[in-house]
Amino acid sequence: MPEGIPALVAGVGLLLAFLSTGMPVFVGFFLINLLTVVLFIGPAGYGMFVNSLYETTTTQSLATIPLFILMGEILFRSNSVEMLFRSIDTLIGRVKGRQYVLGIALATVFSTLSGAAMGVAAMLGRSLLPGMISRGYNPRLSAGVILAGACLAPLIPPSILTIIVGTLAGVSIAGLLIAGIIPGLVFAALFLVYVFVRIWLNPAMAPAAPDVMPKVTARDALIAVVRIIPFTIIILMVLGFILLGIATPTEAAAMGVIGSLVTAAIYRGLSFNMIREATVSAAKVSGMILIIMATSKLFSQLLALSGGAAALTEWLVGLELGYFLMLFILMLLPFVLCMFVDQIALMLIVIPIYIPIVAAQGYDPIWFWLLFLINVTIGGLTPPLGYVLFALKSTWPEGTLADVYAAAWPFVLLFVLGTTLLALFPWLTLVLPSVL
């Protein structure tokens, strides 16, 4: 084995051992960094440690994270999303299996407002799943629709994980955000097709009557459209400004916060207490993410100093595995590890190792890192330890963990199918970023 790789394996293995004890992610990175500096660098490394913390916490692009989190917090805490929920419910109308369609549609839209798969899964698990089951919908398919839809959140912008990947990998955050739009819609379409095929093969999976909803009149549809206009403006303002090059992701996120405040005021949910609660919650989540990234910065620098990342790159390239076989191996690792390791922790470990390999293989950076993000997301959906599964289970006490696992597997396979399509047809990912 080339020199440097054992040090790389030892460092990553020790870090994973720390994280497996259940300690906070930032504590694990802090300990491995401190241990490495004390044993191999000495007092001179302390300044390096401080500089890496300062450099990460003052990175301008990371200001996008708390702004997007605050935008979602304001919309959810002001109960503005309740209006969105009812409007989409009305617009779907009376179709066979409409609650399945509603679940996919709501998850897709909420993904543009939240960006957190666990949050979307928990919210729809509390609000939508009990009603679906009480109306006679198949419990496992209902849970699967919510799980799969929630996992669109890291893909469809604004996505916190996309910002983290772009920052760590050194690629355009705006390009990576925009690149997730078409793949997110492709996955949503695959879920809809799957649901309709299941209903066609087994009509008992949906109620015989198209729900208890009365016929939707033109007036009802018009009112529903008017009610969702503020949300549409927020989405177009954030994504449109980025796509047209009018604003950076950070500036667009700030406009999104302003738009969310205006929306909350329109729906009479704006208050001092709501703003205070949203700000405090956003600060807590953002602080957790930023301290993890700050403590991980030195870890990636230590990997570079050890020569392990460079040695691994040289070794893998020397195997001459081929374009797609190498891609398969690089995608398989996050898919498997994210069943056991926190998403952000895994990205902080793997991305610095992958960067030189991606450059050596000649992969398009935006295309590759979006595929990487998708595989990280699928890992969160995959049994036995996918974190999104437990988020839904916590809101569905009547269902067993076996039910949740059974609900997830078909959609894991659909995600794999969709990822394969994106790998074979890169233009699906790159067409929108090419407009920037």
DSSP H or E run through 277: helix 272-306
Where does 154-292 show beta strands of DSSP type E? none
Closest CA to 61 of 175, 156, 232, 154: 175
What is the rounded CA–CA span in Å between residue 169 and residue 5?
A: 21
CA 149 to chain centre: 11
pLDDT given for residue 303 in this prediction: 63
What's the start-to-end Cα distance of the chain, in Å? 43
How many separate domains does the chain show?
A: 1
What is the rounded CA–CA span in Å between residue 417 and residue 190?
A: 9
Half-sphere exposure of 286 (CA within 13 A, CB side): 20
- Joined together, the tokens standing for residue 19 give 């994280």
Q: DSSP letter at 62?
A: G
Longest dimension (CA), the chain: 74
pTM of the model: 0.79
Q: Provide the residue range defining the domain that includes 274.
A: 5-435
Task: For 135, list phi and psi in degrees, rounded to 5.
Answer: -85, 0
Computed on alpha carbons and rounded to an integer, the radius of gyration of the chain in Å comes to: 22
Digit-by-digit pLDDT tens for the chain (436 residues) are 555 567 667 777 777 777 667 777 677 777 877 777 777 676 766 676 677 777 767 777 677 878 888 888 888 788 777 787 778 878 877 778 888 988 898 888 877 776 677 777 877 888 788 888 888 899 999 999 999 988 888 888 878 888 888 888 889 888 998 999 999 999 999 999 999 999 999 988 887 655 555 677 778 888 888 888 888 888 778 877 877 778 888 888 888 889 889 888 888 888 999 999 989 988 887 887 777 777 766 676 666 666 655 566 566 666 777 788 889 888 888 887 776 666 777 787 788 888 888 888 889 999 999 999 998 888 878 887 677 887 788 788 888 888 998 999 999 999 999 999 999 999 999 999 887 6
What is the rounded CA–CA span in Å between residue 303 and residue 309?
A: 6
The amino acid occupying position 324 is F
What is the rounded CA–CA span in Å between residue 232 and residue 225?
A: 10
Instruction: Give the total residue count for the chain.
Output: 436
Q: Kindly give the residue spans of alpha helices, DSSP state H, lying in 113-217.
A: 117-127, 129-134, 139-150, 160-169, 173-179, 181-201
279-288 CB contacts, 8 Å cutoff, 24+ apart: 279/70, 279/73, 281/73, 281/77, 282/66, 282/69, 282/70, 282/73, 283/66, 285/69, 286/65, 286/66, 286/69, 288/26
